[in-house]
């Protein structure tokens, strides 16, 4: 017999598999990463902003528990090529999977795997094979397999990368509706993931598995919406009702003859100790950032999917009217109506998860990935410090004392950094109470005035906030936003800027890619130039030369308003620079401090690291 290790080695030496993937959400992204690790030839179907981000920066995943970041460069297409593929994987929401079936059925492949929530798996399978006959008339579909699967990952797309929570190298439960994969299917899937460490769990009844998953997650969904997608607000009574609703849902499935899968979940029907552990774990997760990653972020970003699951489960309940579920009904009634949920999160039907139609999304200057990374690092160092402390009590060793002290200091430092990041994120957020970014952008825009038919330039436009604000203030002119949209701010892109302009109803703004160090425009092109907190991020020994490059493209008589952290360490003597501009003939040149009450108070600027912020204004 051949050992598992030897078999894996043999599989890795085989020719790379051609795999087509639909779906690049959190689940699809981690699947692609795992398949790439195995050396497969991956083709990803992607569109719009996601495609632009992937083509520009690659697929960036921050693995939260593992404290590492991976980048995979992919072959992306907007439609499936007419090639033969060894494997086709679709990782999408259930209702999206059904809508995609006419496309999937027409692809030349013998194994298809649908990954994700799907409470209409039976109907999905029947429709797939009907469509397959229409796409390939006169051919036998017996050799074509359709499997269903679910991957144990969670997270969110944020700042142009995926924040992904997974255990180990990842795993997937996969099988037919009421059977385990056959030998050929197992061989293909094992080969696809060989060498990646990714675990495949063969399930004998994926329909039961998917229904059990819905029974577990829907009470969490109801509680999330009842708490405004912040499970930290859930009190003990709500947590107890959530657990009771989960148990009732499993009892309903068992009553209706649905197989409880995975088999271990049968403990939810009669295992008091198991239920107590699950309840404690749910309460613990709800009170931490993991609650966002594992539950509420997805609830806020996938309202349409959650509503679809709810409707399907309620239809199933109506088929079993004699089975009472008081805790379930009370919990479901505690959340707002689905119409109100859609209005609150404004993301139903969004072309891309995370960007709401009808509402601009200017993102945040503090990436969520930084927050999650610091939090995960704090937890890891804290656990290490506790372990070393216990070991030090048993064994007297000077090295252990030093190691304990160092990890303790590291825990405190990273913990402080986490707190600072969260506080700064809230200050900057357009949806928070302070809205500092909004105040700054609108304050700068007041200094930008265009003549009729004039054109203004915003250098380093990011998500388009300042460009759009200036365009709204100057309907008689046009604004152009320019950025290189680099990896350090991967969540910002040209597509995002354009979406934000559409969301704001702004038609006199356009966006282009370029370099602030060498603007690709003739001298005296624009009637106004502006910028906000950009140049201090550019590595340079002479940032005053960057200012001069911006002013080079300003027309005579045009105005400028450039906001940045103009400290001596970053820019040198700015008062001398102001005098230099005046000597060159620039008029009304001023360097106005904005961190002493104009945009923010001095104390606020100190703790946020914005001391020295000022607005350079004048006329050429």
Q: What is the pLDDT of residues 36-74, one digit of tens each?
A: 999 999 999 998 888 989 999 999 999 988 989 999 999
111 neighbors 185 (Cβ within 8 angstroms): yes
Q: 446-619 domain in CATH 3.40.50.150?
A: yes
The CATH number of the domain covering residues in 16-204? 3.40.50.720
Do 16-204 and 446-619 have matching folds?
yes
Written in H, E and C, the secondary structure of 36-88 is: HHCCCEEEEECCHHHHHHHHHHCEEEEECCCCEEEEECCEEECCCCCCEECEE
Task: Tell how strand 171-175 and strand 145-151 pair up.
Answer: antiparallel
Q: Work out the angle at residue 370's Cα, subtended by the Cα atoms of residues 292 and 171, and round it to the nearest 5 degrees.
A: 55
Element (H, E) at 191: helix 183-192
Mean pLDDT is lowest, of 108-117, 163-172, 362-371, 554-563, for: 362-371
The sign of the torsion formed by the CA atoms of 90, 45, 130, 112 equals: negative
Query: How far apart are alpha carbons 604 and 584 in whole angstroms?
Result: 36
Higher pLDDT, 132 or 370: 132
Model confidence pLDDT, tens digit, residues 214-237:
999 999 999 999 999 988 898 889
* Domain segments of the chain as ranges: 16-204, 208-345, 368-428, 446-619
Q: pLDDT at residue 24 above 90?
A: yes
What average pLDDT score do residues 128-142 get? 87
Mean pLDDT is lowest, of 4-13, 376-385, 407-416, for: 4-13
Q: pLDDT at residue 353 above 80?
A: no
Note the pLDDT of residue 346: 61
Note the pLDDT of residue 8: 45
**Can you give the length of the chain in residues?**
620
110 neighbors 212 (Cβ within 8 angstroms): no
Note the pLDDT of residue 392: 76
Higher pLDDT, 368 or 605: 605
CA atoms within 13 A on the CB side of 82: 1
Model confidence pLDDT, tens digit, residues 387-410:
888 877 777 788 888 888 898 899
Burial 234-270 (b: 16+ CB within 10 A, else e): beeebbebbbbbbbbbbebbeeeebbbbeeebbbbee
Closest CA to 240 of 198, 296, 279, 297: 279
Note the pLDDT of residue 352: 37
Q: pLDDT at residue 140 above 80?
A: no
In which band, very low, low, confident or very high, does the pLDDT at 342 lie, cut at 50, 70 and 90? confident
238-242, 353-357, 609-613: which is most confident: 609-613
Mean pLDDT is lowest, of 217-226, 243-252, 489-498, 531-540, for: 489-498
Element (H, E) at 188: helix 183-192
Helix, strand, coil shares, percent, the chain, to 5: 50, 20, 35
Q: pLDDT at residue 513 above 60?
A: yes
Note the pLDDT of residue 295: 84
Query: How far apart are alpha carbons 566 and 332 in whole angstroms?
Result: 54
Q: At what angle do helices 121-135 and 206-226 cross, to 10 degrees?
A: 120
CA distances from 140 to 145, 177, 180, 252, 318 (A): 12, 20, 22, 39, 38
Q: pLDDT at residue 463 above 60?
A: yes
Query: How far apart are alpha carbons 435 and 439 in whole angstroms?
Result: 6
Query: Which residues are CB-contacts of 7 (< 8 A; sequence separation ≥ 6)?
Result: none
Query: How far apart are alpha carbons 503 and 488 in whole angstroms?
Result: 25
Note the pLDDT of residue 3: 42
Query: Which residues are CB-contacts of 353 (< 8 A; sequence separation ≥ 6)?
Result: 25, 157, 301, 302, 347
Closest CA to 219 of 334, 77, 135: 334
Task: Tell how strand 171-175 and strand 199-202 pair up.
Answer: parallel
Task: Tell how strand 111-115 and strand 87-91 pair up.
Answer: parallel
Query: How far apart are alpha carbons 517 and 534 in whole angstroms?
Result: 11
Query: How far apart are alpha carbons 374 and 383 in whole angstroms?
Result: 14
Mean pLDDT is lowest, of 242-246, 311-315, 383-387, 474-478, for: 383-387
459 neighbors 550 (Cβ within 8 angstroms): yes
In which band, very low, low, confident or very high, does the pLDDT at 359 lie, cut at 50, 70 and 90? low
- State the distance between the two ends of the chain, measured CA to CA, in whole angstroms: 82
Phi, psi of 109 (to 5 degrees): -160, 165
A 10 A CB-CB count for 516 gives 19
Note the pLDDT of residue 2: 41
Higher pLDDT, 607 or 275: 607
Higher pLDDT, 498 or 293: 498
Which one-letter DSSP state was computed for residue 475? Answer: T
In which band, very low, low, confident or very high, does the pLDDT at 354 lie, cut at 50, 70 and 90? very low
pTM: 0.63
Query: Which residues are CB-contacts of 110 (< 8 A; sequence separation ≥ 6)?
Result: 86, 143, 144, 145
């Amino acid at each position: 017999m051949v050992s598992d290790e030897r078999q894996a080695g043999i599989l890795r030496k085989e020719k790379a598999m051609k795999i087509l993937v639909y779906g690049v959400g959190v689940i699809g992204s981690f699947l692609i990463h795992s398949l790439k690790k195995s050396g497969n030839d991956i083709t990803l179907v992607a569109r719009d902003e996601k495609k632009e981000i992937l083509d520009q920066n690659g697929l960036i995943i921050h693995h939260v528990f593992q404290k590492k970041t991976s980048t995979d460069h992919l072959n992306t297409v907007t439609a499936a090529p007419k090639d033969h593929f060894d494997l086709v994987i679709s990782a999408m929401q259930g209702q999206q999977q059904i809508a995609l079936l006419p496309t999937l059925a027409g692809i030349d492949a013998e194994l298809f795997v649908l990954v994700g929530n799907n409470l209409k798996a039976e109907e999905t399978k029947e429709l797939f094979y009907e469509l397959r006959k229409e796409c390939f008339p006169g051919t036998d579909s017996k050799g074509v397999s359709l499997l269903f699967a679910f991957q144990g990952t969670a997270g969110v797309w944020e700042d142009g990368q995926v924040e992904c929570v997974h255990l180990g190298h990842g795993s997937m439960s996969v099988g037919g509706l009421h059977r385990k994969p056959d030998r050929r299917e197992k061989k293909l899937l094992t080969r696809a993931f060989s060498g990646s460490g990714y675990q495949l769990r063969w399930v004998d009844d994926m329909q039961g598995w998917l229904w059990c998953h819905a029974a577990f997650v829907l009470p969490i969904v109801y509680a999330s919406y009842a708490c405004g997608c912040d499970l930290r607000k859930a009190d003990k009574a709500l947590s107890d009702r959530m657990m009771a609703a989960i148990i009732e849902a499993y009892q309903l499935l068992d009553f209706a003859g649905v197989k409880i899968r995975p088999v271990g979940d049968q403990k939810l029907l009669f295992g008091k100790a198991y239920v107590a552990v699950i309840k404690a774990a749910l309460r613990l997760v709800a009170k931490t950032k993991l609650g966002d990653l594992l539950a509420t972020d997805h609830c806020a970003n996938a309202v349409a999917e959650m509503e679809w699951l709810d409707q399907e489960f309620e239809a199933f309940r109506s088929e079993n009217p004699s089975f009472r579920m008081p805790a379930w009904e009370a919990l479901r009634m505690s959340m707002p109506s689905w119409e109100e949920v859609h209005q609150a999160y404004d993301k139903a039907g969004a072309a891309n998860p995370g960007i709401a139609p009808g509402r601009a999304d200017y993102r945040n200057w503090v990436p969520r990935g930084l927050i999650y990374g610091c939090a995960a690092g704090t937890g890891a160092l804290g656990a290490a410090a506790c372990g070393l402390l216990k070991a030090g009590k048993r064994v007297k060793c000077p090295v252990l004392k030093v190691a304990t002290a160092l990890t303790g200091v590291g825990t405190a430092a990273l913990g402080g950094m986490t707190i600072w990041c969260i506080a700064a994120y809230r200050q900057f957020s357009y949806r928070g109470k302070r809205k500092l970014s909004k105040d700054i952008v609108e304050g700068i825009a007041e200094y930008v005035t265009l003549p009729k038919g004039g054109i203004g330039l915003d250098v380093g436009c990011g998500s388009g906030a300042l460009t759009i604000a200036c365009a709204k203030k100057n309907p008689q002119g046009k604004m152009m936003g320019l950025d290189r949209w680099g990896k350090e701010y991967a969540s910002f892109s040209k597509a995002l800027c354009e979406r934000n302009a559409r969301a704001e109803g702004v038609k006199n703004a356009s966006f282009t890619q370029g370099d602030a160090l060498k603007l690709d425009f003739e001298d005296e092109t624009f009637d106004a130039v502006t910028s906000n907190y950009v140049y201090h991020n550019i590595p340079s020994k002479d940032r005053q030369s960057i200012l001069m490059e911006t002013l080079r493209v300003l027309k005579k008589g045009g105005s400028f308003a450039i906001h940045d952290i103009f400290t001596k360490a970053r820019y040198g003597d700015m008062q001398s620079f102001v005098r230099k501009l005046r000597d060159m003939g620039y008029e009304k040149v001023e360097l106005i401090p904005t961190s002493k009450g104009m945009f923010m108070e001095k104390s606020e600027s100190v703790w946020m690291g914005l001391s020295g912020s000022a607005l350079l204004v004048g006329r050429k």
